[in-house]
Structures are given as structure tokens and as C-alpha cells.
């Protein structure tokens, strides 16, 4: 492993405050100059259920969770079995539990981790208003090398409103934890880093998604709450208001998509965010946006499907509906973010694509990146701003053609309010004026133009992230997309560190497909592994349908909710090459 | 009331497009188109500042027959399209046209919430109690014993939807019923509906001469409502309780709820402030 | 059906009379045109022909009126404030036509409305206190009477084929 990192879980049931503890720890790590990734897992309860905060810290940007955790800090054991599959523990791992809550359940012990005790309840009781989770944080800080000053600053910031006594109680519990950690076995420690050296952001994928669309120019959002997309909306509502936009909570997803169609037809760039069930409801109207050529962005924060599935967990299984869900021949754009930070880039790019081509653009993210918080290098400024080709004024003696057949396929769009260019945008097939037509020639001309505008568009280098191991690409590739990219990146780093050569291809542009660019990217590649979190291998099948893949291409696919570990992908790489050697 | 106060620069014809309607001769929808164009002319609205939004159905063809901005969307979704358009572009006058199936069946949920939300829209529903575009099936407003469709040869057996009752209960801010047989009165009421802030519902009894030829008798059955509008929802509700559906020609209810209108001030330039909150 | 508050009122000013005449001729020309379009759209050439000829006649009428009033500043009257109540008398109600209507049926319907137009001007002429209004109203009434005469002539020329309602053996189509 090239990334020196430490991975830990804080788990506990209602009232234990593990999510709060995780957030404080992340903030403190940020304060200390580290990078981090935090995911959460929780039970089905609205409140008070068991929860786990999974964190990984490093001195370099963190792409993925590790294969296992160095530390499980269990504030109690309530129902912790539900997380056992999500918390891989090995012999080097350490479980720290509170003797007040008894022994660790057997389900956590299959990897034979080390065990130690920390009397969190007892230590907290000695401090007025002391809490066990702060004792836990103190112990964790000492064990991973987090300077206490970092936590001091964070606690002061977070508890300011509760007063100095609350701050003092928390820090007293924290220091009790530090003191008690002396007796605990060691786990890897990270070195301190000069925070100022690396400008960093703390952001979730869902926040980055919201910021991306605002940067791209979106000023109207209509949406219906759905897990795990709701945080996109919660971030956007107040943020849009600050930049002169608005968010409307619609009565359902059918209304969301149609409201944004209306707003965009009115000239205001618009988007909605949803998850699989909501996307299913929006599909008919996405076809309308294709036919009527209304630019818009729909973000699908994917969760486990089908149907209600597992609403709080991640899967990459909406690829098919995003690409093929629309009835008729309906050319549209599908892009996918491949990391927490990339949610910003990809959604901003999506607005640019949607506006430039007057086409609905779907963005696929997922629960894993959407609800994860990461400390990432400060994202670059991007030049993409949605720019729509508008028809500025009427031409004397010429009737306006809303759907003029042009070389680019993009027709200048008249925004309501423009004199002399009135027309009716229509979901019925139409001629160049927008008049409904059942003529074969009109259908052909309009289909050609709608296809042409997205086929001919210059997507530049953004269609995929292409990364080679330090010593070159070799003849082996990992082809992946979305949040499977994180562990794939780390697998590539490890493979490279062990002297291997490989190329990572993470597709950001899912549709339209880019066979020429792919052929170029795969030149010299003889073996490939396709990695995706889908039970049926949707991505692999799509690649097979549209691209010339190396003769030896294997599919590594699994349904959610468990994420890939880097080692899983590395094993596949090694196996691929062992088989060919 | 003859006034020269406002210089009228538009004629009803100025709001019609070159496209010829495909409706059957005698269809009430022709009348509604005429009444809308008359109303727009009377209001003197420049065509480019008006938008007509519709879904699917005979009456949903109206946008293309006008010379204003039009949007002909999918079945049942006209109200949300219009909602988005009006919220994004409050400077436009936005009308929504459609039929009883589009509005009350497939689009029923949007109807409830459009009334609730009270965006400043005028919704003109041409109610002919039948699906014309698909050859005459029962609609939500069809009587339960109508046996004219192969789909429901013994009638639907279910009570008809009551658009005005539901509209009132859901919060529509202006409610009227008019008859296609009195286009001038309809134009007058459409003017009022457009001028009234918030969500205005105008139900038009618009006969389908092809699938419900008996509806041509409506012109003789309808009667002008005897009382003028009320601003008291409870009173309006009581009137609807004894209404047989043929009291037309007057506004039933005018509410005073302020229209829905979230903040939408163009104050660009603070994206950097949003970003600053993420910086460490 | 209409509130009918205006339909018995007299007209005592030339401007108001001309505004009424303009509106009536505009409506008549537009409506005949609209009905002709409808019938053409449905390939009912015979009936369409009747309406088209009437549209042309009304357009001529309208053009003369427009020339007469070009320099005048006529009052604006809202559609519901004209002295006829409801639609203008010369405009055939859209709901009165039908896909099945015969040529003779169209002629009779037009005749009915031309007579109503005549009756309107006659009433105005009889009721008014203004001599110029009376003179012009009588002139307009006479012109309408000409249309009535043409239509009566057409009616009398109608043969048995013109009386048959138009039949269509095919059922209506499904469109959307």
C-alpha cells in the first residue's frame, strides 16, 4: 500500500453519538492537515438506531476505504452484528470495547482481531457531563497521532453555543481518553502535516453535486425528497436562494421533472436530484425533454434496487435505466462522477453539456460518494458555464424554426418573451417549425439532428479519467466507472508499487459512447478487468455492446451494498496476468 | 361600459397561429380557443409575453393554434410544466389548457397540488366527460352509467370527479364554470381569471360532438348561475353541494390567498461565498 | 343564456354604431373563414365552399367598413359590452355546425345568422334618436338583406344531394 493511512470505525447505538464523534474526528483531522474519507452506516430507525462511522485518514488524498479497518471503537455492542460485513477486521485489527457493555459479539471475531478494553462509561462518569464518545475520541486521537490541539479547536467551534462548561466537559473526557490510551495496543499512527501546505476542502458528494450545478449556472431546482439524494436538495435550497435561484419541493417526481422542463423552457437552467425510484417516474418526461429539446440536468444518487431496495446503501445498478430507459430513439447524455470531489466537476460539466446541446443530461452518482464526507484537495476552478444557443431576434419575413435542421444539430432556441419568435415546443414529432408531423421525412430529419448534436459534440478529454501506473500502462487495463473507481485507483497504486504496469480507465461519459477514444485508450492493452457494483454486470454488457474490448476481458461485478476493497481488484489483476503468463 | 382608456393594439386573430385545428366541426374547443384569443386581445398582452402550456388530449392541442409561446408536453403534466415556467419567469402570463382526463385522471395529483400551491396560473379545463383522442372512453367526470365505451360497456359504476369541489377544497384561488355555448361570457371570465392573482380554475362545459353527441343539448340545459361570486369558501362549498353541474357563466369563488412565489432575486456573484464554506 | 343586459339597448352615436358594425363584420368574416377551414380540414368540400364564399363576401364588406372608418377614432368596446348580448349576430355559433351537416344545412344556418344581422341593424335604426345612426343602420340592414337574398337563392337552388347529411362509413380514429 503506497498510501500510508489509518482506517477506523466508531460504532454504537442510539444516544452514543457515533456520527457526531465521527464528524468531530474528521474535522480535527482536517485541522491537523490530513486527508480523510468518512462514510456512515445505520440501522433502519429514524432516531436512536445503531450506527457506524467509517473513517480513513491519510497524509495524501484518500480515494477509497481500505480492505479492512485498523480499529473498531465500539461505544457499545447494540446490534453491531448488522455491520459486521461492512467492517472487515483482520488479525492486525484492534477492537476496543467498553467492559461495561460486556464482550464483543462473535460475528466480529472471525478475522481474529486483537481486543482491548476501554472503560468509556466509567471514565466519563468521573467528569460532570462527560460523555463516553468523547472518551473514545481521546483514545482514538492518541492512537492515530492526532494532535489534541486539533480537537480542542474543533470542539470549541462546535460547542460554542452550549457554553464554556460544555466545551470543558468534552475536552476533559477527551483527555481522559488520551490518558487511558497509554494501555491500549498500537495501531498505525499518521505524522502531523503542516495544514497550510495543502489547501483542502471538507465536502460531501451530495454537497459537491449541489455546488457543481450552481457553478454550471442552474438557478431553478424542483425536487421530491428521496434517500440518498435529499442532502443535495437540502444543500441547494438555501444556497440557491443566496445566488438568486430557487428550489421548489414538488408533489412527486413527475412534477419535479416537469417543473424543471417548464423553467428551462423559460430560459432558466434547471435540474433535479433523485434516486432510482424517482428516476423511474421521470423517464417519460425525460423523453419529452429529448423531443422538445429542453436542456436540463437530472442527478440520480443511486441506491440499491430494484424497487425500494435498500434505500440507504449504494449500488451502481441504474446504468441501464439511465442509458436505455427512455422509449423511442431518444439520444441523451449520461455522465457519471467517480469520486466525492468529482461530483463537483461532473455536475458542472453536465450543466454545460445540457445547455450547449439542449439535451437532458443524467448524472449518476451514488450513496457511497453522495453521503460520504471527504477532505479533498481544493477543487480546481472550472470554465464550464451553461451556455445556450439562443435566437436573439426575429428575422424579417422569416418564420422562426425552433427545430431548424442545422449542421451541428443544435437549433437556436427562442426564450419566451422574445418578440416574433413565438412557437410551440412539442413532444409530438414535429417539423422544423415545431408543428406536429407524422411525416416519415420529418421524423427522419429530427431524429438525425437530435442524434447529431450529441454525437458530434466535442467532449474533450473529460470523457474518461485515464491513469497509468508509474512505469507506464503496460498491456493491462482496469475499466470502471463511478464509485468503483476509488478502490480501482488504489488497486492500481498497489499494483504499480509492486512493479506492475497497468492503465486505469474510469468512464465519465457513459452515453453517448466514444468508440474512437476508447480504441485509442485501449491501444496496446491485451487484458482488461471491468469493475462495477452491479449484480448483472450492466457496465460490462454495455462495454461489450459498444466497444472493441481486449480479447481477454473479465468482468468483476457484484451487487451492493458492500463496496469493493482495493485488494479484491488487485487480486483480479494479478489473476488476469498470472493466467496469461 | 365603453371606454377608450386603454389603446387596444391587438385583435383576437393576432393570437391565432396559421395552423388549422384538427378538432371535429362543432367541437366546443374551437369556442374555447376563440374565447382565449378574445380575452388576450382584451387584455392587450403582447403575444410573446404569454405562454400556453398543455398536456395530451384534444383540448391540449390549443398551444399550437395560438401565436403565443406554447408548450405541448406529455399526458397529465401540463400543470407542473406551467408551474416551473411561471416561477422561473414571473413576467410571463401563463395559461394552462387541457381536458378532464389530462387534468383530473392522469394529472389528478398535480391538480390538487397546483390548487394548493396557488401559483399565478390560469387553468382552463375543457370538460367533455370523455377521452376523444383515444376514441371515446369514460373519463373521470363521466357519469357512472354511461355505456358508450367498449372499455366500460356497463358504465364505470364509479362516481364522477367533482373538479370545482376538489379545486375549492384544495385551495384554488378563483373558481368558475362556463359553457362553450357562450363564448363571450367565457372570454370575460377568462379575463377575470387571468387578472386574479394565484391559481384560477375555469371549467368549460365543452361538448364532444363525435363521442358524446348528446352533449350538444348542453347549450339548452345550462343556465346562468343566479348568484354572484363569493369570497367565502364555505359559502362556495355549500353552493357546490346543491349544484347539478349546469350552473354556468359566473365566477363561483374568488379567494385572497397570496400566490406562491419563492425568493428568486438575481443577485449573482456569491458562488464564491458558497465555496468558502467548504474551505479548511 | 347570456346575461342579456345590453341586447335591448339603443345606439345613439355614430362611433358606437360603427364599432358594432366593424366588430360584427370582423366576427362574421373570421367565423365563416374558421368554419370553411374546419370543413376543409375534414374534406367537406361542398359545405366548405359555402362558408368560403360567405367569408369572401364578408371580407369585402369589412374592407369597405375599414375604409370608411380608417380616419375615425372609434370607441373600444369589450366583447361583452356590445348591444347584441353574446356573440355578434352574424357569426354562426361554432357549436351549431357539424361534421355531418349538409350543404343545405349550412346555407340555412348562414341564412339564419344573416337575418339576425339584418334584424339587429333594423332594431338599431328603429330605436335610435340619432338621424345619422338611423341612416347608416338602415344602409347596413339593406346590405345584410342582400346576403339574405343570395342565401335564399342558394337555398332554393339546392338539389336532393345538397340536403343529404354527409355520411362517413369509417369509424373515428385514435390519435394520441
The CA distance from B215 to the nearest CA of chain A, in Å, is 29
Residue A508 vs residues A335, A383, A478, A483: alpha-carbon distances, Å: 5, 18, 14, 11
Q: Do B84 and A215 touch (CB under 8 A)?
A: no
Domain ranges of chain C: 14-163
Q: Give the pLDDT confidence of A265-300 residue by residue, as tens digits.
A: 999 999 999 999 999 999 999 999 999 999 999 999
Could you tell me if residue B112 is inside a domain? yes
Q: Residue A222's pLDDT is what?
A: 98
Comparing CB atoms, the residue among B63, B87, B270 nearest residue A242 is B270
**3-state helix/strand/coil string of A170-181:** HHHHHHHHHHHH
The H or E element containing residue C47 is helix C45-69
Smallest CA–CA distance from A239 into chain B, residue: B274
Comparing CB atoms, the residue among B25, B183, B222 nearest residue C38 is B25
Smallest CA–CA distance from B267 into chain A, residue: A244
Q: Give the pLDDT confidence of C83-126 residue by residue, as tens digits.
A: 998 999 999 999 999 988 999 999 999 999 999 999 999 999 99
Q: Give the pLDDT confidence of B99-140 residue by residue, as tens digits.
A: 999 999 999 999 999 999 999 999 999 999 999 999 999 999
Query: Strand A114-117 to strand A94-97: parallel, antiparallel, or no bridges (unpaired)?
Result: parallel
The H or E element containing residue A55 is strand A51-58
What is the complex's ipTM, to 2 decimals?
0.96
Which candidate, A423, A430, A413, C30, places its Cα nearest to that of B47? A423
The string over A44-69, giving b where at least 16 C-beta atoms fall within 10 Å of a residue's C-beta and e elsewhere, is: eeeeeebbbbbbbbbbebbbbbbbbb
> Dihedral, CA atoms, B220, B221, B222, B223, nearest 10 degrees?
90
Q: Any residues with CB less than 8 A from the CB of A164 and at least 6 apart, and which?
A: none
And the C-alpha cell for A101? 457493555
Q: How far apart are CA B196 and CA B39, in angstroms?
A: 14
Residue A384 has pLDDT above 90, yes or no: no
Q: Residue C164's pLDDT is what?
A: 87
Q: Any residues with CB less than 8 A from the CB of B176 and at least 6 apart, and which?
A: B189, B192, B193, B200, B201, B202, B203, B229, B250, B251, B252
Work out the percent of chain A whose per-residue pLDDT is above 90.
90
All structural domains of chain A, each given as residue ranges with its CATH number in brackets, are 5-197 (3.40.920.10), 202-377 (3.40.50.970), 389-457 (no CATH), 463-580 (3.40.50.920)
Which candidate in B74, B92, B270 is best for mutational testing of the A interface (most A CBs within 10 A)?
B74
Q: Give the pLDDT confidence of B142-164 residue by residue, as tens digits.
A: 999 999 999 999 999 999 999 99
CB-based contact A317:A304 (threshold 8 Å)? yes
Residue B38 has pLDDT above 50, yes or no: yes
Which candidate, A407, A423, A305, places its Cα nearest to that of A366? A305
Q: How far apart are CA B85 and CA A296, in angstroms?
A: 13
CB-based contact C41:C48 (threshold 8 Å)? no
Q: Do B88 and A270 touch (CB under 8 A)?
A: yes
* Chain mean pLDDT for chain B: 94
Q: Which residues pair with A476 in a beta bridge?
A: A527
Could you tell me if residue B92 is inside a domain? yes
Residue B10 has pLDDT above 90, yes or no: yes
Q: How far apart are CA B270 and CA A85, in angstroms?
A: 44
And the C-alpha cell for A428? 409530438
Which candidate, A525, A523, A574, places its Cα nearest to that of A553? A525
Q: Any residues with CB less than 8 A from the CB of B110 and at least 6 apart, and which?
A: A251, A254, A255, B76, B77, B78, B79, B80
Q: What is the mean pLDDT of residues A195-207?
A: 89
Residue B268 has pLDDT above 80, yes or no: no
CB-based contact A287:A330 (threshold 8 Å)? yes
The CA distance from A142 to the nearest CA of chain B, in Å, is 23
Residue B7 has pLDDT above 70, yes or no: no
Smallest CA–CA distance from A290 into chain B, residue: B73
Residues of chain B contacting residue C11, judged by C-beta atoms under 8 Å apart: none
Q: How far apart are CA A73 and CA A98, in angstroms?
A: 9
Q: Do B209 and C44 touch (CB under 8 A)?
A: no
Smallest CA–CA distance from C47 into chain B, residue: B25
What pTM was computed for the model? 0.96
Q: Where are the alpha helices (DSSP H) in A293-418?
A: 319-324, 342-357, 367-370
Which candidate, B4, B14, B114, places its Cα nearest to that of B55? B114
Phi-psi region of A474 (alpha: psi -120 to 50; beta: other; left: phi over 0): left
Comparing CB atoms, the residue among A201, A215, A424 nearest residue B72 is A424
What is the C-alpha radius of gyration for chain A, rounded to an integer number of angstroms? 26
Q: Residue A1's pLDDT is what?
A: 38
Smallest CA–CA distance from C22 into chain B, residue: B11
DSSP code of B242?
Answer: T
What's the angle, vertex CA A249, arms to CA A247 and CA A254, rounded to 5? 110
What DSSP letter does each residue of A139-175 carry, written as one string? HHHHHHT--HHHHHHHHHHHHGGG-HHHHHHHHHHHH
Q: How far apart are CA B257 and CA B174, in angstroms?
A: 10
DSSP code of C75?
Answer: P
Q: Residue C171's pLDDT is what?
A: 84
* Per-residue confidence band for C3, with pLDDT thresholds at 50, 70 and 90: very low
Smallest CA–CA distance from C5 into chain B, residue: B1
CB C145: neighbour CB atoms within 10 A? 16
Q: Any residues with CB less than 8 A from the CB of A221 and at least 6 apart, and which?
A: A213, A233, A236, A237, A240, A245, A246, A247, A248, A260, A270, A271, A272, A273
CB-based contact A13:A50 (threshold 8 Å)? yes
Which candidate in B21, B73, B120, B123 is best for mutational testing of the A interface (most A CBs within 10 A)?
B73
Give the total number of structural domains in chain B: 1
Q: What is the mean pLDDT of residues A162-173?
A: 96
Q: Residue A364's pLDDT is what?
A: 98
Q: Do B224 and C3 touch (CB under 8 A)?
A: yes
Q: How far apart are CA C147 and CA C168, in angstroms?
A: 31
Could you tell me if residue B5 is inside a domain? no
Could you tell me if residue B2 is inside a domain? no
The string over A558-575, giving b where at least 16 C-beta atoms fall within 10 Å of a residue's C-beta and e elsewhere, is: bbbbebbbbbbbbebbee
Q: A507 φ, ψ to 5°?
A: -80, 125
And the C-alpha cell for A472? 507506464
Work out the percent of chain B whose per-residue pLDDT is above 90.
93
Residue A48 has pLDDT above 90, yes or no: no
The CA distance from B85 to the nearest CA of chain A, in Å, is 4
Higher pLDDT pick, A56 / B2: A56
Residue A31 has pLDDT above 50, yes or no: yes
Could you tell me if residue B147 is inside a domain? yes
Residue A79 has pLDDT above 90, yes or no: no
The CA distance from C139 to the nearest CA of chain B, in Å, is 24
Comparing CB atoms, the residue among B48, B80, B278 nearest residue A254 is B80
What is the C-alpha radius of gyration for chain C, rounded to an integer number of angstroms? 18
* Chain mean pLDDT for chain C: 92
Residue that has been written with the C-alpha cell 485507483 in this structure: A489
Q: Give the pLDDT confidence of A319-369 residue by residue, as tens digits.
A: 999 999 999 999 999 999 999 999 999 999 999 999 999 999 999 999 999
Q: Any residues with CB less than 8 A from the CB of B168 and at least 6 apart, and which?
A: B175, B233, B236, B237, B240, B252, B253
* Per-residue confidence band for B3, with pLDDT thresholds at 50, 70 and 90: very low
Residue that has been written with the C-alpha cell 477509497 in this structure: A64
Q: How far apart are CA B188 and CA B39, in angstroms?
A: 7
Smallest CA–CA distance from C85 into chain B, residue: B184
DSSP code of B105?
Answer: I
Q: Do C98 and B25 touch (CB under 8 A)?
A: yes
Q: Residue A381's pLDDT is what?
A: 87
Q: Any residues with CB less than 8 A from the CB of C146 and at least 6 apart, and which?
A: none
Higher pLDDT pick, B225 / C1: B225
CB-based contact C83:C19 (threshold 8 Å)? no
The CA distance from A205 to the nearest CA of chain B, in Å, is 12
CB A460: neighbour CB atoms within 10 A? 9
And the C-alpha cell for A115? 481486543
CB A209: neighbour CB atoms within 10 A? 34
Residues of chain A contacting residue B108, judged by C-beta atoms under 8 Å apart: none
Comparing CB atoms, the residue among C16, C79, C96 nearest residue B42 is C79
Q: How far apart are CA A352 and CA A216, in angstroms?
A: 6
Residues of chain A contacting residue B271, judged by C-beta atoms under 8 Å apart: 214-215, 243
Residue B55 vs residues A273, A379, A437, A543, B104: alpha-carbon distances, Å: 23, 43, 17, 37, 12
Could you tell me if residue B123 is inside a domain? yes
How many alpha carbons lie under 13 Å from residue A578 in its C-beta half-sphere?
Answer: 6
And the C-alpha cell for A418? 422574445
Which candidate, A501, A475, A482, A474, places its Cα nearest to that of A542? A482
CB-based contact A183:A51 (threshold 8 Å)? no
Q: Give the pLDDT confidence of C132-145 residue by residue, as tens digits.
A: 999 999 999 999 99
* Chain mean pLDDT for chain A: 95
Residues of chain B contacting residue A419, judged by C-beta atoms under 8 Å apart: 46, 48
Q: Do C81 and B1 touch (CB under 8 A)?
A: yes
CB-based contact A332:A286 (threshold 8 Å)? yes
Work out the percent of chain A whose per-residue pLDDT is above 70.
99
- Residue B148 sits in which domain range? 13-276
Residue C153 has pLDDT above 70, yes or no: yes
Q: How far apart are CA A331 and CA A117, in angstroms?
A: 59
Judge residue C113's burial from the number of C-beta atoms within 10 Å of its C-beta, 0-12 exposed, 13-18 middle, 19 or more buried. buried
Of the listed ranges A22-26, B186-190, C6-10, the one predicted with least confidence: C6-10
* Per-residue confidence band for B264, with pLDDT thresholds at 50, 70 and 90: low
Residue A540 has pLDDT above 60, yes or no: yes
C14-163, CATH topology level:
Ferritin (1.20.1260)
Q: What is the CATH classification number for the domain harbouring B55?
A: 3.40.50.970
Could you tell me if residue B21 is inside a domain? yes
Q: How far apart are CA A282 and CA A274, in angstroms?
A: 9
Amino acid at each position: 500500500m503506497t498510501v500510508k493511512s489509518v482506517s477506523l470505525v466508531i460504532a454504537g447505538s442510539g444516544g452514543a453519538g457515533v456520527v457526531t464523534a465521527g464528524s468531530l474526528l474528521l474535522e480535527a483531522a482536517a485541522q491537523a492537515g490530513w486527508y480523510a474519507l468518512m462514510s456512515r452506516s445505520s440501522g433502519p430507525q429514524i432516531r436512536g438506531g445503531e450506527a457506524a462511522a467509517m473513517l480513513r485518514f491519510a497524509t495524501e488524498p484518500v480515494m477509497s476505504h481500505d480492505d479492512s479497518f485498523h480499529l473498531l471503537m465500539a461505544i457499545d455492542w447494540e446490534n453491531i452484528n448488522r455491520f459486521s460485513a461492512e467492517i472487515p477486521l483482520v488479525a492486525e485489527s484492534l477492537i476496543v470495547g467498553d467492559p461495561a457493555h460486556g464482550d464483543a459479539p462473535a460475528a466480529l471475531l472471525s478475522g481474529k482481531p486483537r481486543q482491548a478494553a476501554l472503560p468509556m462509561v466509567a471514565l466519563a462518569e468521573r467528569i460532570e457531563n462527560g460523555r463516553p464518545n468523547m472518551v473514545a475520541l481521546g483514545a482514538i486521537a492518541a492512537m492515530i497521532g492526532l494532535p489534541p490541539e486539533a480537537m480542542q479547536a474543533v470542539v470549541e467551534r462546535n460547542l460554542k453555543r452550549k457554553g464554556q462548561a460544555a466545551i470543558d466537559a468534552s475536552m476533559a473526557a477527551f483527555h481522559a481518553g488520551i490518558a487511558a490510551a497509554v494501555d491500549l495496543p498500537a495501531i498505525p499512527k499518521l505524522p502531523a502535516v503542516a495544514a497550510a501546505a495543502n489547501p483542502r476542502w471538507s465536502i460531501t458528494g451530495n454537497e459537491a453535486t449541489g455546488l457543481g450545478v450552481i457553478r454550471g449556472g442552474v438557478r431553478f431546482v424542483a425536487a421530491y425528497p428521496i434517500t440518498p439524494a435529499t442532502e443535495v436538495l437540502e444543500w441547494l435550497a438555501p444556497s440557491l436562494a443566496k445566488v438568486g435561484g430557487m428550489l421548489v419541493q414538488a408533489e412527486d417526481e413527475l412534477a419535479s421533472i416537469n417543473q424543471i422542463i417548464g423553467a428551462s423552457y423559460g430560459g432558466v437552467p434547471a435540474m433535479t436530484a433523485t434516486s432510482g425510484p424517482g428516476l423511474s417516474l421521470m423517464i417519460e418526461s425525460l423523453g419529452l425533454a429529448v423531443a422538445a429539446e429542453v436542456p436540463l440536468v437530472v442527478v440520480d444518487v443511486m441506491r440499491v434496487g430494484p424497487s425500494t431496495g435498500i434505500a440507504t446503501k449504494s449500488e451502481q445498478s441504474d446504468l441501464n435505466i439511465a442509458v436505455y430507459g427512455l422509449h423511442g430513439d431518444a439520444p441523451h447524455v449520461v455522465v457519471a462522477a467517480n469520486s466525492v470531489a468529482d461530483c463537483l466537476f461532473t455536475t458542472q460539466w453536465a450543466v454545460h453539456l445540457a445547455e450547449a446541446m439542449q439535451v437532458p443530461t443524467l448524472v449518476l452518482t451514488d450513496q457511497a460518494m453522495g453521503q460520504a464526507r471527504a477532505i479533498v484537495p481544493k477543487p480546481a476552478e472550472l470554465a464550464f458555464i451553461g451556455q445556450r444557443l439562443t435566437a436573439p431576434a426575429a428575422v424579417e419575413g422569416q418564420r422562426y424554426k425552433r427545430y431548424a435542421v442545422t449542421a451541428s444539430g443544435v437549433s437556436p432556441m427562442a426564450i419566451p418573451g422574445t418578440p416574433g419568435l413565438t412557437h410551440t415546443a412539442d413532444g409530438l414529432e414535429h417539423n422544423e417549425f415545431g408543428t406536429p408531423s407524422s411525416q416519415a421525412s420529418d421524423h427522419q430529419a429530427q431524429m438525425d439532428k437530435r442524434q447529431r448534436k450529441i454525437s458530434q459534440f466535442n467532449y474533450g478529454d473529460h470523457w474518461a479519467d485515464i491513469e497509468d501506473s508509474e512505469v507506464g500502462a503496460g498491456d493491462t487495463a482496469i475499466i470502471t466507472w463511478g464509485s468503483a473507481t476509488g478502490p480501482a485507483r488504489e488497486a492500481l497504486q498497489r499494483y504499480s508499487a509492486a512493479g506492475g504496469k497497468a492503465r486505469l480507465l474510469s468512464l465519465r461519459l457513459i452515453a453517448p459512447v466514444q468508440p474512437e477514444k476508447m480504441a485509442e485508450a485501449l491501444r496496446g492493452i491485451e487484458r482488461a478487468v471491468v469493475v462495477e457494483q452491479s449484480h448483472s454486470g450492466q457496465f460490462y454488457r454495455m462495454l461489450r455492446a459498444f466497444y472493441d474490448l481486449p480479447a481477454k476481458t473479465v468482468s468483476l461485478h457484484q451487487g451492493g451494498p458492500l463496496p469493493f476493497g482495493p485488494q479484491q481488484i488487485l487480486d483480479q489483476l494479478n489473476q488476469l496476468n498470472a493466467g496469461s503468463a | 361600459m365603453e371606454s377608450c382608456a386603454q389603446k387596444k393594439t391587438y385583435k383576437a386573430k393576432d393570437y391565432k397561429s396559421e395552423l388549422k385545428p384538427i378538432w371535429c366541426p362543432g367541437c366546443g374547443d374551437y369556442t374555447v380557443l376563440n374565447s382565449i384569443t378574445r380575452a388576450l386581445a382584451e387584455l392587450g398582452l403582447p403575444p410573446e409575453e404569454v405562454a400556453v402550456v398543455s398536456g395530451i388530449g384534444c383540448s391540449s392541442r390549443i398551444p399550437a393554434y395560438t401565436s403565443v409561446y406554447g408548450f405541448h408536453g406529455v399526458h397529465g403534466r401540463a400543470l407542473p410544466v406551467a408551474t416551473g415556467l411561471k416561477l422561473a419567469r414571473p413576467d410571463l402570463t401563463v395559461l394552462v389548457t387541457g381536458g378532464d382526463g389530462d387534468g383530473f385522471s392522469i394529472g389528478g395529483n398535480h391538480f390538487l397540488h397546483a390548487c394548493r400551491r396557488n401559483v399565478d396560473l390560469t387553468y382552463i379545463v375543457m370538460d367533455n366527460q370523455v377521452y376523444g383522442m383515444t376514441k371515446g372512453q369514460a373519463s373521470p367526470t363521466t357519469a357512472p352509467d354511461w355505456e358508450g365505451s367498449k372499455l366500460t360497456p356497463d358504465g364505470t359504476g364509479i362516481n364522477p370527479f367533482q373538479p370545482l369541489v376538489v379545486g375549492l377544497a384544495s385551495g384554488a384561488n378563483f373558481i368558475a364554470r362556463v359553457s362553450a355555448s357562450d363564448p363571450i361570457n367565457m372570454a370575460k371570465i377568462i379575463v377575470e381569471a387571468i387578472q386574479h392573482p394565484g391559481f384560477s380554475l375555469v371549467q368549460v362545459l365543452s361538448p364532444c360532438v363525435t363521442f358524446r353527441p348528446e352533449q350538444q343539448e348542453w347549450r339548452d340545459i345550462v343556465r346562468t348561475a343566479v348568484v354572484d361570486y363569493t369570497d367565502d369558501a364555505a359559502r362556495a362549498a355549500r353552493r357546490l353541494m346543491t349544484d347539478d353541474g349546469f350552473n354556468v357563466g359566473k365566477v363561483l369563488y374568488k379567494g385572497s390567498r397570496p400566490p406562491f412565489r419563492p425568493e428568486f432575486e438575481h443577485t449573482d456573484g456569491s458562488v464564491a461565498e458558497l465555496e468558502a464554506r467548504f474551505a479548511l | 343564456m347570456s346575461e342579456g343586459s345590453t341586447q335591448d339597448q339603443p345606439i345613439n352615436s355614430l362611433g358606437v354604431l360603427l364599432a358594432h358594425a366593424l366588430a360584427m363584420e370582423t366576427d362574421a368574416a373570421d367565423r365563416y373563414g374558421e368554419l370553411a377551414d374546419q370543413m376543409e380540414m375534414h374534406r367537406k368540400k361542398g359545405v366548405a365552399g359555402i362558408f368560403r364564399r360567405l367569408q369572401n363576401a364578408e371580407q369585402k364588406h369589412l374592407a369597405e367598413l375599414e375604409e370608411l372608418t380608417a380616419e375615425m377614432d372609434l370607441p373600444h368596446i369589450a366583447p361583452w359590452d356590445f348591444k347584441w348580448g353574446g356573440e355578434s349576430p352574424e357569426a354562426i355559433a361554432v357549436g351549431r355546425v357539424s361534421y355531418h351537416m349538409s350543404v343545405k344545412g349550412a346555407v340555412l344556418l348562414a341564412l339564419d345568422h344573416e337575418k339576425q344581422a339584418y334584424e339587429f341593424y333594423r332594431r338599431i335604426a328603429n330605436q335610435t334618436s340619432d338621424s345619422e345612426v338611423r341612416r347608416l343602420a338602415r344602409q347596413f340592414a339593406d346590405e345584410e338583406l342582400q346576403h339574405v337574398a343570395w342565401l335564399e337563392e342558394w337555398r332554393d337552388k339546392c338539389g336532393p344531394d345538397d340536403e343529404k347529411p354527409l355520411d362517413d362509413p369509417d369509424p373515428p380514429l385514435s390519435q394520441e
